[in-house]
Structure 1
């Protein structure tokens, strides 16, 4: 991103802002060199719109919105970082808190998948307590934070929790090793 200072219609100085690029990194990667980041980008697994499409047809899927872009490399890495930021913001939102099971709601889990979408899991015994208005409110909350990240068709799956560990976060390959985050809701 370039920042230009304008004085009476004339460009006075142009500065390059590198902090934005660093902000689209996993916190563990902030001190890596550009060459090391290039290696990570080159080995980052592409997003898989097909897995999202499959998920939308499953019996346990309650609602779905948006679409997963077909991108790889740096774009896939940055997409996953943005999804994690969205999820983090949603989880901290006071309006979302009422939907969490620990606060009397039906949501057991909210996270992002390595395939490139946001997953919100509902207690299967309490699915009937979730209204269409609740689904729309949850979608609006997610969209509010997605818009801040520049995502206008954020992929969301709201599903019954099936007890299987969910692969969340981004997946990248660095030094030949795949790193991923697993989260098991107990």
Structure 2
């Protein structure tokens, strides 16, 4: 006599969706490949829209997150352009300081539409590379304290490992103390 089943079989958990084919993630991977970078890509189980959430998911400190922040930077001629600041997730960007050092009249937080227009990515998934056009980029010198940092990879569920020097190289970024 065979034993009775203990109850219904547990529901199968579907495998996570492969986000490497997502258009923004694919653009990031392509941009990195052009720079001869094959990153360690991690797909996280949930959206990580903040440096703190990303750090918790990866088991690291927020300071080890290269937070991609897009600002609307006002030039002396009155024009506005996107400015990407790759900031350590451990502190806030001093926009007045960045404006002065980068020779802008003002640097203001960009709205979600401005961010998507200039990066092709939604806030929470903005990567350092893979945008429709290269953005002027500033890289927080604080990230240089860490052997490895993590950056968004084009989607709020994806991140990749990199280094401070690699971020400067692949973005043609300008090192700056942004805090």
TM-score, normalised with respect to structure 1: 0.27
After TM superposition, the score normalised by the length of structure 2 is 0.28
Q: Which is richer in helix? A: 1
